[in-house]
Each structure stands twice: as C-alpha cells, then as structure tokens.
Structure 1
Amino acid sequence: MLVHTIDEDVSLRLFTKDDAQEFFQLTIDSKAYLKEWLGWLDYTNTVDDTAKHIQARCEEIAANGGYPQSFAIIYKGRIAGTIGFNTMNNASKIGVIGYWLGESFQQKGIMSKALKAVIHYGFHDLKLNRIELHVATENYKSRALPEKFGFKEEGHIRQAEWLYDHYVDHVVYGLLAEEWTSI
C-alpha cells in the first residue's frame, strides 16, 4: 500500500476496501458540519455507498497510468478526510483538487500539510502544468489554503454548485508549475 508520510502525525495513503466503515463513519459524524459546503452528502447513506466510492477511486489508478488521483488523509493513525484530483485532463495537463476534513480534525494544520504534498505530487509526479481549486466564494476557511500556497484568483463562476436549497458561486484559483516554489 502506498503511504506518503508528511510528518509524525500526518500521512497520505491510498484508500482500501477495508476503509469503508471508518470513512463512512467519519462522513456521518461530520455530515451536518460538511453540508455547509459539500453538496453530495445526501447520497452517502450506507457503508456500501462509501465502499462503492472507494472502489471507484481504486479504479482511477489504472485509468491514470498507475498514478492515484486521491488519498485518505491519515492523522495519528485515523482517517481524517480526503484530498485528491477530482478531475484531470491529461492532454492539457490540468488537475482540479478537492478536499475535506472531518469536523473533529479541523484547526490542526492537517489540510495545509496534505495540500502541499498533493500540489508537489501533481507537479512533480503527474507532470501537471496547471492545478486548479474551485471554492465557494463564502467558504473563507477553504479559500485561505490556495491563497497560502500562491494560487492566483482567476475568476468567479456564478451559481456553480447546488447545495441542497440554494446555489453558491465559486472562486477559481490556479497555479502553474513554473510558479510552484514548494512553500
């Protein structure tokens, strides 16, 4: 199993089918918290839903030439969340990163460490030329991350995502390989 150790507390690793129960429980425990910014939570209702999601992530590896697109974020031996490339355009060498952490893992610097590692992976291992993040305009906590790592705010997409009972606009952030300095 591929594991990338970031420090003594935080690592990234591939999801396995054995993660379904723990990842499902993290999702359910954080559901009310995550619903503010994530629109897919009503589609995760059983461990089997999570197992199917993990299986799809495993299948991405073969479709991407043996390179994984997404990872479990591990904090002190427990799954804390996930990060990875929601979409990749291999012809144009562009990846779009998505991420989330369970509510009990917030404010520990975990996501900063994970994002830095995935940006490095995208530019150095996947040989991407451009990495994007799309973040709800009012999700200031999440917007702080791309800004911290030198992403440029490139524009807004109006009514980009439906969140249960309303639309939210997105800010599009971009970072080019030539701009990445491994902050």
Structure 2
Amino acid sequence: MFKRIIDEEIELKILEYRHIEEDYLLIDNNRSYLRRWLPWLDNTTRVEDVNKFIKSSLQQFANNEGFTAGIWYRGDFAGAIGYHEVNWLHKKVSIGYWLGYEFTDLGIMTRACKSMVDYAFSELGLHRVEIRCAEGNVKSMGIPERLGFKNEGILREAEWLYDHYVSHVVYSMLDIEWKRTDEFI
C-alpha cells in the first residue's frame, strides 16, 4: 500500500475503508466551501457515496492505474490527493486534490503535491505530471506555480460545475525539469 511521511506534520496514506467516516465528515463539514470548485459534492451526500469512491480508488490502485491518498495533518484527516488515471504508454499522470477549509493556508497541499510529483518521477518513472485548476481558483493555481510547473494555457469551458462551465488552467512538469529540493516550499 502507498504511504509517505512527508515531514513531522504531514502523512499521505492510500484511502481505505477504515477512513470512510473521517473522509465523509470532513466533506460534509466543508460542503459549501468545497462546492465552489469541486463538481462531485452533490453526488457525495451519504457515507455510502464515500464508500463507493474508496472502492473504485482501491480498484484503480489494484489495476496500477492511479490511486487516491488521504492527507493527515498532525494526525487529523485534512483532505485528499491522488493520481487520476496513469497513462503508462505516454508515461504521464494528472494530480487532483482538495483540503478542508481549516487546513488551508498552512502549506499542506504544496508539500503533499511536491511529494506526489517526487513519487511520480522517482518511483513510477513517469515523464510528465499535470495539474489542472479551474480558472479563478487562485489558491489551487498557486500550488503548481510555487512548485515551478509551467502554465501551458487554458482549456476553455472544460468542466460543468453545477450550473455553469469553468475553464481549466493546465500546468505541467517534466521529469527533466523537476528538482527534488526544498527551494519551492
């Protein structure tokens, strides 16, 4: 199973069934905050919905196609980060993430993303990592920018968000550009 201790404050662990309750509670307690940018909130209204998500994430992990990890900050469940489908032919992956409001502005997601990028390049041997952020989601966009990702442009109206389309800003990092140093955080 996937587990990474980033530092004395942050640990990443693959989401398992035993995490269902704390995952659901964080989502439910942050519903209005998360709904602004995440399209799946209205489809995650019961503990059973989180159970289904974790089941599909574990199947994705078993199929070697990616996974979702929980983020623990000082022992508390803070959010999630994961690889959307790994494309082994082209050696690339996209990272998605979210945090509960009370865990924002602490550098948690920047450190978690850095760890996931390190893992993609050093352990999985991938060539390209993408992060896509809704245009206007300044906090999310700051993460790949702090990590030195290149802004490749905008995918116009790429996602339906409840009652309107949002465009995505596409950021990328190549293995030959990545430096595993602490200069970004």
TM-score past 0.5 threshold: yes
Q: In the alignment, which residue of structure 2 is the partner of 1:35? A: 35
Compared with structure 1, are the counterparts of its residues 104 and 163 closer, same or farther at alpha carbon in structure 2 (3 Å cutoff)? same
Q: What is the DSSP-based 3-state SS (H/G/I as helix, E as strand, rest coil) of the residue aligned with 1:73?
A: strand
Q: 1:144 aligns with which of 128, 139, 142?
A: 142
The amino acid across from 2:17 in the alignment is K
> Counterparts of 1:95-110 in structure 2 under 5 Å?
95-110=93-108
Q: Matches of 2:2 and 2:136 in 1, distance apart?
A: 35
The answer for the alignment partner of 1:153 in structure 2 is: 151
What is the Cα deviation at residue 137 of structure 1?
1.2
Which residue, 63, 85, 88 being the options, matches 1:87?
85
Cα separation, 2, equivalents of 1:69 and 1:17: 14
Distance 2:145 2:103 in 1: 21
In 1, are the aligned partners of 2:81 and 2:97 still within 8 Å (CA)? yes
- 1:59 is matched with 59
Taking only the aligned residue pairs, the percentage that are identical comes to 42
Deviation of 1:70 (Å): 2.0
Kept in 2, the 8 Å contact 1:87–1:97? The answer is no
1:22 is aligned to 22
Q: Give unpaired runs (5+ residues) of structure 2.
A: none
Q: Report the Cα distance in structure 1 between the residues aligned to 2:22 and 2:67, rounded to whole angstroms.
A: 20
What TM-score, normalized by structure 2, do the two folds share? 0.94
Q: Deviations for 1:89-116, whole angstroms, at most 9, x for unmatched residues? A: 1110010000000111111111111011
Counterpart-to-counterpart distance in 2, 1:8 and 1:153: 31
Question: How far off its partner does 1:3 sit?
Answer: 2.6
Q: Which residue number in structure 1 is paired with residue 126 of structure 2?
A: 128
Tell me, in whole angstroms, the C-alpha distance in 1 between the residues paired with 2:138 and 2:4: 28
Q: What is the rounded CA distance, in whole Å, between the counterparts of 1:148 and 1:2 in structure 2?
A: 25
TM-score of the two chains, using structure 1 as the length reference: 0.95
- AA partner of residue 141 (structure 1): K
What's the offset of the Cα at 1:76?
1.3
Q: Which runs of 5+ in 1 are unaligned?
A: none
